[in-house]
Structure 1
Amino acid sequence: MEKVVRLVDIAKAAGVSQGTASNVFNRPHLVRDEVRERVRDVARSLGYRGPDPKGRLLRAGKVNAIGLVTAEPLSYFFEDPYARAMMAAISQACDAHSAGIALVSAMNEQRLAWNVQSALVDGFILFCIDEGPRLVELTRERQLPFVALHLGTKDETISAIGVDNFAGARLAARHLAGLGHRKFAILATPLTDEHYGFVTLADVQAGIYSTSRDRVAGYFDVLAGFGVDTAGIPVLETQSEHEEALREGLGQIFAAADPPTALLCMSDRIAFAAITWLAERGLSVPGDVSVIGFDGVAEGAQFRPPLTTIAQPIHDMGQLAVEMILGDSGDIQRREFETELVVRESTAAAKK
């Protein structure tokens, strides 16, 4: 096996102390020019690649970096509008602390342990832990702070940041019902990992993702109070990688004899896709159909028509997550933020 050249070997060959050799690579301004050049020449001749950053970081006890973990493909951080907005908020907070970011995928179960255990970070921000007991277990084994961007878990031993999805959904339903709408369809975020298509109330209640369950419950809670038969509201479960299925589902919804006049979309991304589909078929928003989203991403204000939505304080949530990791107090922290109804041009009064 090829011998690994160490800093002590460089120092011995150059005739300097190990401390001087270390300064050449870490604090070169402390070393005289001629000594610095001699040490570097020796290092090049021996094939030395420089100090091992892992060793330096471990000795320091801090990496000054945060790991972002998702069970989705890593492309999720760049393709999903909510994830992009959260990434931007976390990045800005990390910049303020001169901290780095490492993206960690929990999608591959076989690689999960290695990905979590080998990440050089000071802590983790977990994007979803509804189906992630193994992820939580592995993170705890690292004995590093972690926070979930999700309050749905009932595990009070996990630090978490999120919003009241039930209350946010109630805001959306009340807004549309207040405009006179009584015929609805719900375009839901995933309830499970694999299924997409129409689901029953039993399917909703059995779903593993509490975000989607809570939002359906919030919609139904308000609509029932307005006299709407919630059993007759179609609920279409979507998956981001199966947009064609969303389009097919919308086709079935609007082929009905008495189609909805309002769509309750559980994400702005779903709302954008629905509005595009409606426009392709000559249905105007909000003239024929009102559409409301959920997230409050920046793209909603520029969309045509500008999207009415339930806004989450994404920037504040991302900033707090970073501060909880980098300034870890050792205490469990759970913070619930309020959502806000942002009324724009994609919703209007129901046709008489």
Structure 2
Amino acid sequence: MRTVRLADVAKAAGVSQGTASNVFNRPDLVRDEVRQRVVATAQALGYAGPDPKGRLLRAGKVNAIGVATAEPLSYFFDDPFARVLMTAISAACDARGAGISLVSAMSDERLAWNIQSAVVDGFVLLCIEGGTRLVELTRERRLPFVALELGSNDETVAGIGIDDFGGARAAAVHLCELGHRRFGVLGIQFVDDHVGPVTPDRVETAIYSTGRDRWQGYRAGLAPYGVDAGAIPIFETENEPKSVREGLDYLFSRPERPTAILAMSDRVALCALEWFAERGIAVPGEVSIVGFDGVPEAARATPPLTTVEQPIAEIGRRAVEMILDGALPEGRERLPVRLVVRGSTGPPPA
């Protein structure tokens, strides 16, 4: 069945195409009698009105940004970091009268289509997983983009990052100064499609720089206190409850249990707190834990979580400004982090 066009409506209503266009776009310029006749004709023919996508594209700017990830759409709502980031992006867009389009898909083919068809002025890329492919697809679209959590050190990509190394080092130093010398690490993704124990050498060659930089920060913080980083057990998780629980089962089944856990995300640390509570393991009496991100849930946890806080809201605001103002940085803009000490850390048990 042929699509009904504005020209068909104009012809059937006995008016020019310009008059028919004004009925839908500038109705104040058309007499009531004519406007009612054109609307009635459009309804009879099944014409829903002009395509807003085409009108916006002809204008050259749609005043909207796309937020894209290779994760499933539920990531925007389930992950604490993503929720805070999206709140900040939404507030920045509201202040500018701009819209947001969420772009996500598990399959590469569908993700490519979603990026190509999104009606936006540019993209904020959440490169938690599949960041390289996200960058490739967005470059093909030839729209401005800024990458967050890129996971690589590609300085040709405009992005906003944080001092992962410095933040992790501060976390390790804090625990060492409390007296801890037996550690376990709950990592985030180092390579694709792997969950389980990994060696420090494996982390050093990780393809994702976020986890690698945080490990190197831990190692640098531990070294002055005589802690052998090569002997620390590391478990690579998928940053979700099931793999975190597997990691804790592994760390606490070893002959020498850790007295302190370095968790590479707050989500991992919060899952760990639940695991400890279920088993009656006192925090920080028997084990201390430090997270990384600074999500709101960390402050509300039991006990409140010590964490490395990154400026998530500032990252979201800066990303929106970069896209809507066309002020992309050359390479990566790095923002500072800070250690927030709360109730989940204390001296090791006697």
TM-score by length of 2: 0.95
Deviations 1:199-244 (A, max 9, x none): 0112212222110011011001110111111112111110135x33
Q: Report the CA distance between 1:155 and its aligned residue.
A: 2.4
- What corresponds to 1:293 in structure 2? 291
Q: Distance in 1 between matches of 2:328 and 2:190?
A: 33
Q: 1:80 to 1:127 in 2, by over 3 A?
A: same
AA in 1 matched with 2:258: P
Q: Distance in 1 between matches of 2:213 and 2:16?
A: 64
Q: Does the CA-based 8 Å contact 1:151-1:163 persist in structure 2?
A: no
- What corresponds to 2:92 in structure 1? 93
Deviates more, 1:251-260 or 1:170-179: 251-260
Q: Does the CA-based 8 Å contact 1:130-1:210 persist in structure 2?
A: no
- What corresponds to 1:267 in structure 2? 265
Q: Does the CA-based 8 Å contact 2:128-2:150 persist in structure 1?
A: no
Q: 1:244 to 1:4 in 2, by over 3 A?
A: closer
Q: Does the CA-based 8 Å contact 1:131-1:208 persist in structure 2?
A: no
Deviations 1:293-316 (A, max 9, x none): 100001111111111100010000
Q: Does the CA-based 8 Å contact 1:187-1:238 persist in structure 2?
A: yes
- What corresponds to 1:144 in structure 2? 143
- What corresponds to 1:309 in structure 2? 307
Q: Report the CA distance between 1:151 and its aligned residue.
A: 5.8
- What corresponds to 1:332 in structure 2? 330
List gaps (5 residues or longer) in structure 2: none
Aligned-CA RMSD value:
1.7
Q: Distance in 2 between matches of 1:83 and 1:331?
A: 22
Q: Does the CA-based 8 Å contact 1:261-1:350 persist in structure 2?
A: yes
Q: Does the CA-based 8 Å contact 2:131-2:151 persist in structure 1?
A: no
Q: Does 1:182 align with 2:157?
A: no
Q: Distance in 2 between matches of 1:151 and 1:337?
A: 14
SS where residue 68 of structure 1 aligns?
Answer: strand
SS where residue 184 of structure 2 aligns?
Answer: strand
Q: Distance in 1 between matches of 2:196 and 2:51?
A: 51
Q: Report the CA distance between 1:37 and its aligned residue.
A: 0.8
SS where residue 349 of structure 2 aligns?
Answer: coil
Number of residue pairs matched? 350
Q: Does the CA-based 8 Å contact 1:263-1:292 persist in structure 2?
A: yes
Q: Does 1:47 align with 2:46?
A: yes
Q: Report the CA distance between 1:193 and its aligned residue.
A: 2.5
Q: Distance in 1 between matches of 2:328 and 2:175?
A: 44
AA in 2 matched with 1:149: L
AA in 1 matched with 2:165: F
Q: Does 1:341 align with 2:326?
A: no
Q: Does 1:240 align with 2:239?
A: yes
SS where residue 114 of structure 1 aligns?
Answer: helix
Q: Distance in 2 between matches of 1:127 and 1:331?
A: 17
SS where residue 54 of structure 1 aligns?
Answer: helix
TM-score by length of 1: 0.94
Q: Does the CA-based 8 Å contact 2:67-2:124 persist in structure 1?
A: yes
SS where residue 267 of structure 2 aligns?
Answer: helix
Q: Distance in 1 between matches of 2:147 and 2:312?
A: 14
Q: Report the CA distance between 1:349 and its aligned residue.
A: 1.9
Percent sequence identity is: 61
Q: Does the CA-based 8 Å contact 1:166-1:218 persist in structure 2?
A: yes
List gaps (5 residues or longer) in structure 1: none
Pick aligned residue for 1:257 from 250, 255, 258: 255
Q: Does the CA-based 8 Å contact 2:148-2:160 persist in structure 1?
A: yes
AA in 1 matched with 2:31: R
Q: Report the CA distance between 1:131 and its aligned residue.
A: 4.5
Q: How does 1:119-138 map to 2 (within 5 A)?
A: 119-128=118-127, 131-138=130-137
AA in 1 matched with 2:294: G
Q: Report the CA distance between 1:290 and its aligned residue.
A: 0.8
- What corresponds to 2:152 in structure 1? 153
AA in 2 matched with 1:217: Q
Q: Distance in 2 between matches of 1:213 and 1:331?
A: 24
Deviates more, 1:259-268 or 1:106-115: 106-115
